[in-house]
Chain A
């Protein structure tokens, strides 16, 4: 009911909004709320499990792929070093063999003995 008080229009103080206000089933609401909470929990758990699985999967994939990447990155360097050292070794051997073959022939003349004959015949005839 509305009543006019002076210039103001006011609702009557005791006038109920509903004639028969609906009583909320408090107990029934609590069950729903719990169910909702449980459902949310399950969803959160599922999502977190899925995320964990994804993370574990990624970590595993990274770990598994690491040994494959390592040789892929390091092998060329190692091989290069080994090849270089082998080449140096072979070059050294070639040099030594060259030197040995040259020496077998080149310095022979330097080692020839000096002439030692001395002809005394003219003196002996005296």
Chain B
């Protein structure tokens, strides 16, 4: 029986390790794929400029081939990016599970659409099929941007909440060892952390409310700006706690 538990424990630990390694390799894969995509994008842009200028059949053929390469590469990049985003959303354990799962469902649906679009891209062989593929992609694009920036907001909020949780655990650890005088000093840190938590809840409320006039991209940028200020506060709290622990 002990052996079975031992094997199970090793399996669980290995699964955790594999998940981390997998997330890391997805990021590396995304970085290498996006480099490739940028190269194909440059080639397609040059081909389009040449075709607009020369209007020759050779220029058109170059445009079709380079655009097909770029479309396939972009779809592939977005499939990998969806995997990366899905994994990062899964890590935001401090976020309400139902919200997290909803974002994961949205990202999975987008991934399937990019995968399907990759097949459309592979069939580009003339100007018409190129336009069809481009129009098809443009129907997914707004949905992609919206879902992506919403997910990025959740990831950012989740990471900040995780940082605040870590500070709380550290604060309690130090508090347990501190003498009454030091405990009174630590009360200042507690007040600051509680204030930071209230700020985060305020930011989260603004970032996730339904009726919002701005696009998600600008909402994300506003959220990031406010979170950066909050992270400055967290750094100060961390410094105070490090001094108390020393």
A residues in contact with B169, CB < 8 Å: 93, 96-97
Identify which of A94, A104, A115, A123 contacts B159 (C-beta below 8 A): A104
- Complex Cα distance, B245 from A91, in Å, reads 8
Is B68 an interface residue when CB atoms closer than 8 A count as contact? no
A residues in contact with B228, CB < 8 Å: 105
Total chain A interface residues with beta-carbon distance under 8 A: 30
A residues in contact with B227, CB < 8 Å: 104
B: contact size bracket:
35 or more
Within residues 83 to 113 of chain A, which ones have a CB less than 8 A from any CB in chain B? 86, 89-91, 93-94, 96-101, 103-105, 108, 110-113
B residues in contact with A118, CB < 8 Å: 44, 70, 134, 137
- Complex Cα distance, B48 from A10, in Å, reads 167
- Complex Cα distance, B84 from A104, in Å, reads 17
Can you list 26 residue pairs at the A/B interface with Cβ under 8 Å? A90-B245, A91-B245, A93-B173, A93-B245, A94-B170, A96-B166, A97-B167, A97-B169, A101-B167, A101-B235, A101-B238, A103-B159, A103-B163, A104-B159, A104-B160, A104-B163, A108-B224, A110-B27, A113-B149, A114-B34, A114-B37, A116-B74, A118-B44, A118-B70, A118-B134, A123-B130
